Structure 1
């Protein structure tokens, strides 16, 4: 696993060998997603939220590309410790770590973010609630983007604020946008 581009581009991440609840986004899918996003948004100075943080690779990529205010939510103890250790090794200081269930975190949460990423476990039965909660609670800043990683069995084209999707075989990224008025 590696950081694709930016100030930390090329750095390798070595997650634990056994991650029972974590399915890292592949480098190919992550690179494709960020290649698409870099033509739509400027990561410099962004406030970001990474839900189901896993290995932390999305937040490291965001930091490498200039995001200034990062929040990462992960409930698994092993992965939470790995993310903190890796962020320290990469000297990423502008990151908040929250060890909590994502749905509990989102409950009553009303801060806005320029970019939100959610890479939940594919077997998560409540996955369809994520875009609903984010839209209902107005968590996306004007011109903000929310990216939801999922499998082909989920379809979000009819959901509020849906914009487009990128398909990488078994990995699909549905992108939701909040255009400025």
Structure 2
């Protein structure tokens, strides 16, 4: 895993092999951040990274100047790894070991960008819960966006607040707005 841009550009991060993750590929991550970079000024953002895994997306946001990042994952190993790297690189990422759906149900904070990268094999009904909970709980700030990464075989276009999608290889980013 590599940080593409910002303060830690080019830095290779080696996550433990035993983590139950599928990190976002560099090509897809670069495409996503090109889209976001044209829309947002990163140092002003408040970001939530759901199903954070290795912290790949959180680290990229932090390297680009985002100081308010929350990463949520159920796996203790993932959370420990994100916390360790965040401390080593002085990133200040807040981590929560929690079930994402429980976190979304109880959260009171609002964010500019919410990124969710669940297992591609997750049931469609669970994919559908992510935007439902985000919008029911009014979790996006004005002009905020929810980005859900999923396999190209999954379609989220039928959901309320769906705006558009972008494909990068076998990965798709679906964008949701208020």
- Same fold? TM cut 0.5: yes
Matched-pair contact (CA < 8 Å) for 2:74–2:97: yes
Q: What runs of 5+ residues in structure 1 fail to find an aligned partner?
A: none
1:59 match: secondary structure = helix
Q: Which residue of 2 aligns with 1:64?
A: 63
Distance in 1 separating the partners of 2:49 and 2:167: 20
Question: Structure 2 stretches of 5 or more lacking a match?
Answer: none
- Root-mean-square deviation (CA, aligned residues, Å) is 1.2
Q: CA deviation at 1:101?
A: 0.7
Q: CA-to-partner distance for each residue in 1:24-77, whole Å, 9 max, x for gaps?
A: 111111011111221122212211100011000111111111212110001111
Q: Does the aligned pair in 2 maintain the 1:135–1:160 contact within 8 Å?
A: no
Question: Residue 8 of structure 1 aligns with which residue?
Answer: 8
Q: Which contiguous aligned blocks of 4+ residues in structure 1 show a shift greater than 4 angstroms?
A: none
1:153 to partner: Cα distance: 2.1
Selected match of 1:122 from 98, 111, 120: 120
Structure 1 residue 122: Cα displacement: 1.0
SS, match of residue 44 in structure 1? helix
Deviation per residue, 1:130-160 (Å, 9 max, x gap): 0111111111101011110001222122322
Q: Identify if the C-alpha distance between structure 1 residues 45 and 68 changes in structure 2 by more than 3 Å, giving closer, same or farther.
A: farther
Aligned 8 A contact 1:45 1:67 in 2: yes
Question: Is residue 149–residue 173 contact of structure 1 (8 Å, CA) maintained in 2?
Answer: yes
TM-score, normalised by the number of residues in structure 2: 0.94
Correspondence list, 1:152-167, <5 A:
152-167=152-167
Matched, 1:111 2:109: yes
Larger proportion of helix: 2
Q: Partners in 2 of 1:28 and 1:47 — Cα distance?
A: 24
Contact 1:162/1:175 (CA < 8 Å) preserved in 2? yes
> Once the 2 structures are TM-superposed, how far is the Cα of residue 169 of structure 1 from its aligned partner?
2.1
- Alignment map for 1:1-181 (pairs within 5 Å): 1-19=1-19, 21-93=20-92, 95-125=93-123, 126-178=126-178
| Distance in 1 separating the partners of 2:156 and 2:41 | 25
User: Which whole-Å CA distance do the structure 2 matches of 1:44 and 1:165 have between them?
Assistant: 25
The 8 Å contact of residues 128 and 159 in structure 2, kept in 1 or not, is answered as no
- TM-score, scaled to structure 1: 0.92
